[in-house]
Structure formats: structure tokens, C-alpha cells
Structure 1
Amino acid sequence: MSSKICNIIAFFALSSALFSPQALAHPHSFITLATTVMADNGQLNGLKMQWTMDEITSADLLYDAGNAKPDSPVWKKLAAEVMANVLGQHYFTEFWHNGKKVMFNNLPPEYGLARVGHQAVLTFILPLAHPQPLKGQSYRFATFDPSYFVDMSYDHNSDAKLPETLAAWCNIAVKTPRPTEAMQAFALSLDKADAPPEDMELGKQFAQQVTVQCQ
């Protein structure tokens, strides 16, 4: 495994800042999110996620994949390595119910990595450790890189979805935060070699919050 691939799967952040007008600013890489709530028998049991990496972040993964077919061992190996690092960061996701964190299973039941144009797309199911009741309940979740090396966000509010079975009696909403000017200035002041203090959770300050509310 080349060092450049180790970098991408460890941080999802490469040298994209070198090609950016804001070369010294966090974030350095970008992942576009799409999420569908998964439910069965009136219980929420997971999230189906799609992460689309920006073209520069994708470049080394796609280079290593070469012309391999989608179902080839090459893609499966790359997918497993990327997924292992996602799992090492608890799916980069927090999920809350009544002020308490909802735990996840350690292994996704399915995942895959694919090429879409010039971008790498990771898809997987994030399974809850225990199914959660939906009737009359509210849930909140967010996906983010705590270091804010990577911006992980929804391009459109509609990219966070409910299945048709829930659409009649549940609502889903995406709330985009408004960090203070001081927080934005701090993020912009960090260069590529800098990391914010761990307990600051800089990425959390910029993370979109998705709320699911059911009748």
C-alpha cells in the first residue's frame, strides 16, 4: 500500500490545499454527504450513507484502482482499507436520542467503493447497536471530522432523506450552523501542518445537524 493511499484513508485529506485559493486554510479536503434513514417495523436501525470525495482527494485512490473493474479484488481491497479507517473514527458520526449518545455496531453489514467520473464514492450502512423506536421520538445526528481537515457536508438539505415508509409520519431537517467570526478566523488561520486542540472538536463547530422527528 503506497504512502499516499495511507494518507487518504487515514485523514481523507491530501495536498488539495496546494491547489486551492485558500491554500493555508482548513479544511483541506471535501466530502459531500447523502444519507437515508433506515427503518423496519417502526424502528430506526441505521443510516445508509454515501460519501463523495472531491476530485483531488479522490485522485490517488482512483490512480491505485487503475482500470480495475468495479467488482475486482483491487476495489474490494481499497474499500476495506478505507472502511477500516472510517470505523476507527466511529464512522465520523454522532447520533443522539434524548440527550444520550446512541451506539453503533462495530461492523457495517455492507460497504463499497466506486468511481463516479473523477470522484471516489464510498457507500456503506451505519448500523445502530440496538433498534430505536420511532413513534413520538426525535433523533439528531451529525457527520464530521473533529480536526476539520475535511469538510463533510450536505450540498442540499434534500440529501438527508427518509424512506417512503416513514415520510407520512416523520420529518427530517438539516440545520447548518453559523460559527462565530472568531471560530471561522481560527479555522482559516490553521495551515496544513497545524491541528486544532483535540478537545476543541473544531469540525463539530461547523457540522450540520440532521434531526428526525416522528409523530
Structure 2
Amino acid sequence: MQAVKQCALGLFLALLSLSASAHPHSFIRMKTQVLADNGQFTGLKMRWTMDEITSADLLYDAGNAKPGDEIWKKLAAEVMANVLGQHYFSEVWHNGQKVKFLNRPTEYGMEREEHQAVLTFILPLAQPQPLSGQKYTLATFDPTYYVDMSYEQDSDAMLPASLQTTCKISIHTPHPGEEVLNYAQQLDKSDAPEEDMQLGKQFAQTVTLLCQ
């Protein structure tokens, strides 16, 4: 468990073992499904697949553990604690206001997928939100941009069957200017970007949920 306990703001200090000379140092591929109940937006079901190098320490600690073994619960709890420390690395906006989350996920877990660690959890909204005629935006990112958190394809943001006839969901990928790109590339692993620059947010994809 020692490797897991070295987790820091960027999720894992396994990042520090990398030799890359520019941001980002780790990659998480995301899938997100909107959760709804009785026509209201209640939360998000997230699946984060970590790159093989970032996964290595976690999977080393898991050894040959089978699905459901106690070690997976311990690893998931350690990682989830770091995610919660950064407010799920996520923001949901509605009518210019941030939507609040519950302080703890309603469920979470970790598993192995070949040579990669996969964290799954449900991010619950503090209060159910109306969907009819509403628009929401979601962004999930590491503010420092040490971790690249992104969707590989449009289908990685999903609607439940109950919303597929009344809502649409889409992913927008930003294209930061050359100045921002050069700044990110020049940072090495011992550097931290200026806090007020919000570097990670400038690279963050935006998921838009639009309902009739």
C-alpha cells in the first residue's frame, strides 16, 4: 500500500517516476454516463482508465488478486480519497452556477483491465436537478495539467435509455492557442504552472447535456 499512499494532488506520484520533459505526465481516459431519476438529473457514473505506467504501482500492490478481493477495496478507497480531495476533479455548471456534489460517492470500485487500473464511481449531485428544457455542462480535469483527463470519442459521454429521446449529449474539445501550448510543453515534472492560469482547465473537454 505504500505506493498508493504517495498519491498527491495530481492523483498519483507514480507520475514522478516518468522521464517525460513536458506536461502532461499521466493519462486517464474517461467514460461518463448521466444518471437520472423521475426526470431529474441525479449524478454521473464515471469510469477512469489509467495509462499503463500510472497503473503500474497500483497493480503491483494488487498482485494476483481476483475481482472482489479485499485489496481492490483498499486500493479504491485510497485513490478515491485523493479524488474527493479535489472535488472529483469535476465541475458541473447550470445557468452560470456551479452544481454542488455530495461529499462522498454512493459507490466506487477498482479493477484490473489487462495492464491498466480502472476506477469506477458514482458522483452524486447534492440535490436532483431539473432536466426538461435545461442545459448543463461538465468538465473533468487536473488543474495543474500533470494528468491529461480526456474522452477518446464522442460515445464516451452517454445518456441512459430514459433520456435518449428528450436529451442530447456532446463533447467539445478545446484548441488552446500556441502560447498556452508552448507554456505547457516547456514545464518539466518539477515545475508547477501558475495557479491563476488554470492550465488544466484550458485543455479540458466540455460535455454538454441539453434537454427538451
Fold shared, TM-score > 0.5 on shorter chain: yes
Q: Unpaired runs of 5+ in structure 2? A: none
Q: Deviations over 1:150-172 (max 9, x none)?
A: 00000001100001110101000
2:150 and 2:78 map into 1 onto residues whose CA distance is 22
Query: With structure 2 as the length reference, what TM-score do the two structures score?
Result: 0.96
Q: 2:157 aligns with which of 160, 165, 170?
A: 160
Asked if 2 retains the 8 angstrom alpha-carbon contact of 1:16 and 1:29, the reply is no
1:200 and 1:92 map into 2 onto residues whose CA distance is 16
1:15 and 1:157 map into 2 onto residues whose CA distance is 31
Aligned to 1:116: 113
Aligned to 1:57: 54
Aligned to 1:17: 18
Give the superposition deviation at 1:16.
Answer: 5.9
1:9 and 1:118 map into 2 onto residues whose CA distance is 22
Aligned to 1:7: 6
Q: Which runs of 4+ in 1 moved over 4 A?
A: none
Residue correspondence of structure 1 range 68-79 to structure 2 within 5 A: 68-79=65-76
1:16 and 1:49 map into 2 onto residues whose CA distance is 27
Asked if 1 retains the 8 angstrom alpha-carbon contact of 2:9 and 2:86, the reply is no
Aligned to 1:211: 208
Query: With structure 1 as the length reference, what TM-score do the two structures score?
Result: 0.95
1:195 and 1:109 map into 2 onto residues whose CA distance is 33
The alpha-carbon distance between structure 1 residues 10 and 78, as it changes in their structure 2 partners (threshold 3 A), is farther
Aligned to 1:45: 42
178-187 or 70-79, which deviates more: 70-79
Q: 1:35 aligns with which of 19, 32, 48?
A: 32
Indicate the percent of aligned positions where both proteins have the same amino acid.
65
Which AA in structure 1 matches 2:176? P
1:183 and 1:177 map into 2 onto residues whose CA distance is 12
1:106 and 1:143 map into 2 onto residues whose CA distance is 16
The alpha-carbon distance between structure 1 residues 10 and 205, as it changes in their structure 2 partners (threshold 3 A), is closer
Task: Report the aligned-residue RMSD.
Answer: 1.1
Q: Unpaired runs of 5+ in structure 1? A: none
State the number of aligned residues: 210
Q: Deviations over 1:107-131 (max 9, x none)?
A: 1110000000000000000000000
Asked if 2 retains the 8 angstrom alpha-carbon contact of 1:12 and 1:57, the reply is no
The alpha-carbon distance between structure 1 residues 52 and 193, as it changes in their structure 2 partners (threshold 3 A), is same
Q: 1:200 aligns with which of 197, 200, 210?
A: 197
